[in-house]
Chains A and B, each alone.
Chain A
Amino acid sequence: MSTDTVKAAAYRVCETTGLSIFLKAQFFVKINAVLAVIFLLVGGIAALLLALTRWSNVMLLNDIWYYRMVTLHGVNMLVFWIIFFEMAILYFASTTLLNTKMFSKKLAHTSLALMFVGAVVTNYIILKGQADVMLTSYPPLEAHPLFYLGIILFAVGALIVAFNFFATLYIAKKNKTYEGSMPLVTFGAATAAIIAVVALLHGAAALVPTFLWSMGWMEMMDPGAYRLLWWGLGHHSQQINVAAMVSVWYFVATMSTGAKPLNETVCRGAFILYILFINLAAAHHLLVDPGLSSEWKIWNTSYAMYLAVLASMIHGYTVPASMEVAMRRKGYNKGIFGWFAKLPWKDPGFSAVALSAIIFGFIGGITGVTLGTEQINIMAHNTLRIPGHFHATVVGGTTLAFMGLAYYLVPLIFQKDFYMKKLARIQPWLFGGGIVIMSLGMSFAGTYGVPRRTYDSDFGGAVLETGFDPVAHIFLGVLGIGGVIAFIGLLLFLVLIVAAVFFGPSLKGQKMPTWQTDKEQKMTDELISKGYEEEGKDYHVKTPGTIVLVLIFLLSFAIYYFANWAALADLWHIR
């Protein structure tokens, strides 16, 4: 970076990483992360109430409040928490990692104001009871205009952040603040930003006409077209999560173990597969829509020959393999899994990210690809199997990875230390464990046909006798118990973060305290500080442990996939 450019922007040098942290960008990293956590709490409270309602022996809420909480939970968790946090990642990845100042502070303020006002307005109108339409808000369900307006304002704000991010990449390249290709984590963030642009444009196409309809200024949009466009927002935004989450995996893997990408080109290639093909996956949601052809459904749900799935499997190999290489270089060479046992499990940032990768891959990924198959989807569509899948990806995967990143953001960006470190060490296990239990409860209840987004699983008061096998109710209980455990894990996370950020000991002028032993941290620091020219050696370090993990994964995938085809054959007799 040129001296002039550095002087033009007030910055500090991070004592732990040696990276330049630009103070203006740091403010926006902080404020977006804080707002994200606030909306996580709102969505989390709604989640607890929902879990205690779907638990059929409890049924805490009445029907009106159930649908209100489904709306509140969906909007806060899938939109506000996640996207605010992703905005923090975009500011960090484009300035600190590229060693450059932010493009425009004014744009950053404008976007922040739009996003905050949008989020507050949307929450207000939902809690006022004038938007019980759930996150999807399919017409002819109609909410108060402020519901649509709030989400539109939020989306416009997020789009401005994406613009600011790309403009920052441009000035970094122009000022030559980095040499060669941009760092992999920034490239992953750029992938997330590109997907975000696609998602937000679809959101505008779906919600602006719906807002005008709610004002009485135009006819209702065709429900089929709305669904197509809305899922271009709803599902694409989950792909922003995937790209951001994988970037976090790489970042935390480096910070916690000293790992470096095994092969930059392969990892970047996998991100490019996301950019090109992952957005087609939104078609999953429309697999039973009668207006769309099988050709459209099969082409789009196969992610263009499953290339985006291939990308996730590449990351699923390279992240643990890079850690195995790092651990073996530290001398942990005993057997196939000696390195695995010696990973820094006491570091909550690491354990959160490791659990995120496991839950995302083994539960979220396997179920997602299987349920996205057109024929199998017919068994699972609109049952609890679907939320069983996406709670493993979005919550067990993305949210847990973001929690892991927060354990690094607090000391590195907020320059504060944690209290109650023993509790911090168990927090990712508590939250991740709860989500796994809840997700499995949902999935198994769904296999009995229990529908999603339905207040009363037994359809009480129906004229004809309805209801499900009693075993389904046991799994609804499992769902409820998992939800309560996950909420305790979430609450613990919030307590730890708030205590550290607002009341924690200052770390100004100090390195980030290690979660490992001093000897282990020294070895990690040495690996991090070694130059790229030494990476070539990594190609020659074998990764037998990761290969075995990959084989276990592929076997699990095959068993689950073919078990579903067998189940379909049982239901759908073809002679």
Chain B
Amino acid sequence: MEEEKIHPIQKFMDNIWLLLALGLAIPILSYTLWGLIELLTIEQGTLP
């Protein structure tokens, strides 16, 4: 029997491991790493 063709978007939606990887990568890059870089690069304050 010929296998039914699956649309690429459906394949993406069914790939739970890719979704897990993206679900980890996006917030860690956008929220966590970007935020930590900003906090770690604050210049030392000086007294007036």
Contacts and interface: CB of A to CB of B under 8 A. Distances in A.
Interface stretch (A76-84, A225-233, A458-466, A471-479): A225-233
B1 interface: no
Contacts of B9: 265
Interface in A512-537: none
A560 interface: no
B23 A228 contact: no
Nearest to A162: B20
Contacts of A300: 30-31, 35
B2 to A, nearest CB: 16
B30 A272 contact: no
A293 to B, nearest CB: 6
Contacts of B35: 228, 283, 286, 292, 296, 300
A51 B31 CA distance: 34
B3 to A, nearest CB: 12
A202 B39 contact: no
Secondary structure of the B contact surface, majority rule: helix
B20 A166 contact: yes
B36 A228 contact: yes
25 contacts: A182-B14, A194-B23, A198-B24, A201-B24, A224-B39, A225-B40, A228-B31, A228-B32, A269-B13, A272-B19, A275-B23, A276-B26, A279-B23, A279-B26, A279-B27, A279-B31, A280-B26, A280-B27, A280-B31, A282-B27, A291-B39, A291-B42, A292-B35, A293-B38, A299-B30
Q: Range of interface residues on chain A?
A: 35 or more
Interface residues of B, number: 23
A282 B39 contact: no
Contacts, number: 82
B16 to A, nearest CB: 6
Given A228-B39, A292-B38, 6 more contacts: A166-B16, A225-B39, A229-B32, A232-B32, A279-B31, A292-B35
A277 B25 CA distance: 11
A98 B22 CA distance: 24
Contacts of B32: 202, 228-229, 232
Contacts of A225: 36, 39-40
Given A166-B20, A275-B23, A276-B22, A291 B31 contact: no
Contacts of A272: 13, 19
B9 to A, nearest CB: 8
A466 to B, nearest CB: 30
Nearest to B35: A228
B47 to A, nearest CB: 17
B20 A194 contact: yes
A426 interface: no
Nearest to B4: A180
Contacts of B46: none
A236 B32 CA distance: 12
A236 B27 contact: yes
A222 interface: yes
Contact of A282 (B23, B26, B31): B31
A377 to B, nearest CB: 17
Interface string A261-293: 000010011001001110110110010000111
A185 interface: no
A106 to B, nearest CB: 23
B44 interface: no
A190 B42 CA distance: 38
Given A272-B19, A296-B34, A198 B27 contact: yes
Contact of B14 (A181, A195, A222): A181
A246 interface: no
A352 interface: no
